[in-house]
Amino acid sequence: MAKALKALIISADDFEDTELLVSYYRLKENGVQIDIASMKKGTIKGKHGYEIEANKALGEINPDDYDMLILPGGKAPETVRKDKDAVRIAKSFFEKEKPVSAICHGPQTLITAGLLKGRHATSYKTVASELKEAGALYIDKDVVVDGNLVTSRQPSDLPVFLKETIKKLNEIKK
């Protein structure tokens, strides 16, 4: 049997509940092992009150242990993007061209990491201007795929966001 793929979700308090949870459950459905990392270990709480355990602290993450990075939205990315380890991890995924899926405010961490210059991407509408300032080629579309990068705008895009994310998973040869 093939070795299980591993995904890392980075988030924090005030995550957009469905963007994190729908992605989490969808990857689990496909047998993916998932770690959730935040500034520190422990329960994080979504904007709508759902709680989930961040079983890892960002500082202890070795990105080489993971096949895929997921960046859900909400208000969490405003905090996550300020964390030097979150930036370090995102850079590593891009250097190694491993799949990164970011939705809503999720791309903000990639902006801070300086990873979107010349890349086709989308985001929540209020993030569009800073995405463009960061040199991204912004497209107002439910899902944008550019190489290793899958981006979407909002919760209602989750079906196509996850369809493309699962495609990226299926391309990974273990």
Does residue 1 interact with a second copy by CB under 8 A? no
50 binds a second copy (CB under 8 A): yes
Site for a second copy contains 57 (CB under 8 A): no
Query: Which residues in 128-147 contact a second copy (CB under 8 A)?
Result: none
DSSP per-residue letters across 17-83: HHHHHHHHHHHHHTT-EEEEEESSSEEEEBTTS-EEEE-EEGGG--GGG-SEEEE--BSHHHHHTT-
What is the size of the binding site for a second copy (CB under 8 A)? 16
Nearer to a second copy, 17 or 83 (CB): 17
105 labelled catalytic:
yes
Report which secondary-structure segment, H or E, holds 94: helix 84-95
Q: Which residues contact 13 (CB under 8 A, 6 or more apart)?
A: 44, 45, 75, 76, 79
160 belongs to the binding site for a second copy (CB under 8 A)? yes
25 counts as binding a second copy under rule CB under 8 A? yes
Per CB under 8 A, 28 contacts a second copy: yes
Query: What are the two backbone dihedrals, phi and then psi, of residue 111, each rounded to the nearest 5 degrees?
Result: -65, -50
Catalytically active residues are 105
Give the interface with a second copy as residue ranges (CB under 8 A).
17-18, 21-22, 25-26, 28-29, 48-50, 158-160, 162-163
